[in-house]
């Protein structure tokens, strides 16, 4: 007999349990031996299994197994898949256009335009000759070993996804800072997005969108990377000194004027820190997104793993590290300038 037979006997559910199997299912060898000896098999308390769904199913075939839970979730998702696609496809299609446009633009523009333009942006943001030299040497080194196009693809995807994360995340963070109710409802969602393993983001998206559509990996990157900019925007605005807010109110400022004239400028260091973290998380997700056709250096990493090409994997990994350092140092230099301007 199964371990938890006594539960269903005590509840008087023997007929319900046997109805699923017709009541004449073959007995196990252990049960036959116990019946012939006139004894019931017993399980010691040391070996007693947890009363899980599968353990209860062994005692009662009509009781559902744990697989029924996951199967029900799959069937429920597939049942609403078409309806969700009808709604989500038009909304997310601009993301595919943005990614396609960025990739086309950066790959079809000559290197002697792209590289000086990137260096000009770095100089404008940082005003640092050392950082400018490092970025120039890094991009030049990647181009010298013919990894230029892969690096530019990765950079284009990060630029689009990070821009959209900031465009969406900063307003959400502002709204959270102004409403405790919205903050209480949003924090659990952010916690879930931050703790889900990166691969899990891809599972429902693969069912919703074609693997060849850029929005598949674009949505995965945005969902994974948007959390820091939301959290730090909310935190930065909430950390503004209350006395400063009272002074602004004393001067007759409206809520909009206080937000744009006082709170956002004072919260800018936190917001920039969130942008930095968002860019770093975008870069991390780009590598994983190569599993669903995201182009760039992640494709070479995947190729090195699949084909056991050690050199390709290590060099492409080094390229990702260089991109990460370039982006990190550039955004931190911008943050330092913002802090210096506020202190001045």
CB 283 within 8 A of CB 327: yes
Range with lowest mean pLDDT among 47-56, 238-247, 263-272? 47-56
Between residues 67 and 156, the one the model is more confident about = 156
Question: Would the pLDDT of 28 be above 50?
Answer: no
The better pLDDT of the pair 205, 47 is held by 205
Tens of pLDDT, residue by residue over 195-209, are 888 888 888 888 888
Instruction: Give the pair of three-digit tokens for residue 91.
Output: 């909304």
CB atoms within 10 A of CB 67: 11
Q: What is the pLDDT of residue 38?
A: 53
pTM of the full predicted structure? 0.84
Question: H helices of the chain, where?
Answer: 5-10, 14-19, 29-37, 53-59, 66-108, 111-126, 129-144, 148-178, 180-195, 198-208, 214-225, 227-238, 242-250, 255-258, 264-289, 297-306, 310-343
pLDDT (0 to 100) of residue 29: 43
Residues 260-280: tens digit of each pLDDT: 889 998 999 899 999 999 999
What is the mean pLDDT of the segment spanning 209-214?
Answer: 86
Tokens (6 digits) for 264: 């956002």
Mean pLDDT of the chain: 87
Is the predicted pLDDT of residue 129 greater than 60, yes or no?
yes
Tens of pLDDT along 295-329?
999 999 999 988 989 999 999 999 999 999 999 99
Q: Which residues contact 190 (CB under 8 A, 6 or more apart)?
A: 227, 230, 231
* Region 170-182 average pLDDT: 94
Percent of the chain with pLDDT over 90: 50
Residue range(s) occupied by CATH 1.10.3720.10 in the chain = 80-343
pLDDT mean over 85-102: 92
Calculate what percentage of the chain has a pLDDT beyond 70: 92
pLDDT at 286: 85
Contact in structure between 230 and 166 (CB atoms under 8 Å): no
Per-residue pLDDT, averaged over 59-74, amounts to 86
Enter the CATH code of domain 80-343: 1.10.3720.10
* Residue 287 to residue 297: CA distance in whole angstroms: 7
Neighbouring C-beta atoms of residue 297, cutoff 10 Å: 28
DSSP 20-66: TTTT-PPPPHHHHHHHHHT------TTTPPP--HHHHHHH-TTSPPH
In this predicted structure, what is the pLDDT of residue 317?
Answer: 92
Full DSSP string of 95-122: HHHHHHHHHHHHHHS-HHHHHHHHHHHH
pLDDT at 207: 84
Token code pair at residue 256: 């909009």
């Amino acid at each position: 007999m199964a371990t938890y037979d006594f539960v269903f006997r005590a509840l008087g559910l023997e007929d319900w349990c046997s109805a699923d199997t017709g009541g004449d299912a073959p007995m196990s060898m252990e049960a036959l031996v116990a019946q012939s000896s006139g004894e019931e098999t017993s399980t010691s308390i040391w070996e007693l299994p947890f009363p899980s769904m599968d353990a209860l199913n062994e005692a009662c075939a009509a009781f559902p197994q744990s697989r029924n839970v996951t199967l029900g979730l799959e069937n429920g998702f597939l049942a609403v898949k078409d309806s969700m696609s009808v709604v989500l496809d038009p909304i997310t299609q601009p993301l595919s256009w943005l990614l396609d446009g960025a990739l086309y633009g950066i790959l079809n523009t000559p290197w002697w335009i792209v590289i000086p333009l990137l260096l000009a942006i770095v100089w404008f943001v940082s005003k640092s000759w050392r950082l400018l030299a490092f970025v120039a040497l890094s991009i030049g080194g990647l181009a010298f070993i013919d990894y230029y196009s892969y690096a530019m693809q990765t950079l284009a995807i990060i630029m689009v996804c990070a821009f959209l994360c900031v465009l969406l995340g900063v307003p959400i963070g502002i709204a959270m800072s102004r409403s405790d109710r919205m903050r209480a409802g949003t924090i659990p969602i952010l916690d879930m997005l931050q703790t889900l393993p990166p691969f899990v983001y891809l599972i429902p998206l693969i069912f919703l969108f074609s693997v060849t559509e850029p929005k598949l990996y674009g949505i995965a990157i945005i969902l994974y990377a948007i959390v820091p900019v939301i959290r730090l925007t909310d935190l930065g605005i909430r950390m503004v000194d209350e006395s400063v807010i009272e002074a602004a109110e004393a001067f007759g400022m409206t809520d909009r004027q206080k937000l744009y004239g006082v709170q956002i400028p004072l919260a800018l260091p936190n917001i920039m820190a969130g942008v930095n973290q968002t860019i770093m998380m975008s870069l991390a997700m780009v590598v994983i997104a190569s599993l669903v056709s995201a182009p760039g250096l992640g494709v070479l990493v995947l190729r090195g793993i699949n084909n056991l090409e050690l050199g390709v994997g290590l060099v492409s990994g080094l390229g990702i590290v260089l991109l990460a350092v370039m982006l990190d140092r550039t955004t931190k230099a911008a943050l330092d300038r913002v802090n210096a301007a506020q202190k001045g």
